[in-house]
Chain A
Amino acid sequence: GQNIDQPTEMTATEGAIVQINCTYQTSGFNGLFWYQQHAGEAPTFLSYNVLDGLEEKGRFSSFLSRSKGYSYLLLKELQMKDSASYLCAVRDRVPYNTDKLIFGTGTRLQVFP
């Protein structure tokens, strides 16, 4: 079956560092995405991992361990505007001409002053 788990909610303080974890069990694996979604808005792409290790992109980094079925998103120097939901999505291994993302339920992050 397909299962992607993330914490439902997290809180943090402005300027701090927060790590949002994602564990997955899927029938196939062909990459993992992180998306940010502000309330009432569309998801926007943050990062992509397909090989093990850390991908850094400014204040945001994402890590993947395929053997453990585990990823995390690290947000540094938190700002109030980082208050949003963070969605972990696994791309299933499907025939070449398909691109199916399976999303977790998202982690709602609230940043306080």
Chain B
Amino acid sequence: DTAVSQTPKYLVTQMGNDKSIKCEQNLGHDTMYWYKQDSKKFLKIMFSYNNKELIINETVPNRFSPKSPDKAHLNLHINSLELGDSAVYFCASSHIRNEQFFGPGTRLTVL
């Protein structure tokens, strides 16, 4: 199946822990994104990479660090997790300036 995939789908962890979310796309897109969707369903861009180069870096705490080993992968590492980090994190990909395709989301719960 051609798609954007994310792992894990659910992540429950304690405050202060470090965790990573992985994203892969096999659509041949050159741009990948991370979004955060909070409890009020507001979807906000965090980061964007184009051909492995960081091109969008919104006002996100530096505890969040994206990493793109190649065009098909964009991972998100989060250090020292806080309660307010609880949300659904969506990865997406696109050809630049075209519609974005979203992954299934990772529901992060910080206890």
Which residues 75-106 of A have a CB within 8 angstroms of B? 85, 87, 91, 97-103, 105-106
Q: Tell me which residues across on chain B come within 8 A of A100, comparing CB atoms.
A: 45, 48, 56
A49 smallest CB distance to B (angstroms): 12
Interface of A is mostly: strand
Residue among A37, A44, A45, A99 with the highest chain B CB neighbour number at 10 A = A99
Q: Tell me which residues across on chain B come within 8 A of A48, comparing CB atoms.
A: 99
Q: Tell me which residues across on chain B come within 8 A of A37, comparing CB atoms.
A: 41
Count of residues in B whose CB is under 8 Å from the partner chain: 22
B42 smallest CB distance to A (angstroms): 5
**Does B55 lie within 8 Å of A43, measured CB to CB?**
no
- In the complex, which residue of chain A has the Cβ closest to the Cβ of B31? A99
Among the stretches B62-70, B76-84, B102-110, the one at the interface with A is B102-110
Residue among B43, B48, B50, B97 with the highest chain A CB neighbour number at 10 A = B43
B75 smallest CB distance to A (angstroms): 18
Measured CB to CB, the residues of A under 8 A from B are 33, 37, 41-45, 48, 85, 87, 91, 97-103, 105-106, 108
Q: List 16 A-B contacts (CB under 8 A).
A: A37-B41, A41-B105, A42-B105, A44-B102, A45-B100, A45-B101, A85-B41, A91-B97, A97-B55, A98-B48, A99-B31, A99-B48, A103-B43, A103-B44, A105-B42, A108-B41
16 further interface pairs, Cβ-Cβ under 8 Å (given A43-B43, A99-B31): A41-B105, A42-B102, A43-B90, A44-B102, A45-B100, A91-B97, A98-B55, A99-B50, A99-B94, A99-B97, A99-B100, A100-B45, A102-B45, A105-B41, A105-B42, A106-B42
